[in-house]
Amino acid sequence: IDEPMTISHQPINRTHQPERVPPRAHGAAHVLAAARYSGGGAKRLLGETAFRHELILFVVIVLGFVLSGAAAASYLIAGGLFLLLAAAEALNTAIEIVVDRISPQWSSSARDAKDLGSFAVFCLLATNVVYALYVIISLLLAGNTILT
């Protein structure tokens, strides 16, 4: 097992040598650096199959809202719920990466950490679906859709 382990296409640094730490930024440079880090996180999250499936679900929800004639407030709430789901998915991915880095062997605590992260994602995924179904079914039952 001399090959490096990979986690989501990212090789693990098994040399335990310190990596180069970028210098601290201040003022506007700090804000720009934070934006770059956030962009890097978004790019990394797009590499996750689960997140791409969640994006597809969001597109389906928006399409359902369009076809059912949902109000602007419904779109805003759905968008906020999706951002919460994306944040939970990002944190879950971060947990998995850190756990795999710290504990490459199987352990019950590593399993528990990953399971808890997955459960958080599931809760927000269910919240997104239940809210979308509530909006769409309410509008269909009221007859206020562009389909009628």
If one compares 128 and 146, the residue with the highest pLDDT of the two is 128
User: Exposure string (b/e) for 112-129, b if CB count within 10 Å is 16 or more?
Assistant: ebeeebbebbeebbeebe
- Could you read off the pLDDT of 36-82 as tens digits, one per residue? 989 999 999 999 999 999 999 999 999 999 999 999 999 999 999 99
If one compares 19 and 114, the residue with the highest pLDDT of the two is 114
Which tokens sit at 104?
A: 């490459």
Which tokens sit at 139?
A: 């509008």
The pLDDT value given to residue 2:
44
- Please identify every residue annotated as catalytic: 89
How far are the Cα atoms of 53, 96, 115, 132, 133 from residue 89, in angstroms, in the given order? 11, 10, 12, 19, 22
**Mean of the per-residue pLDDT values for the chain?**
88
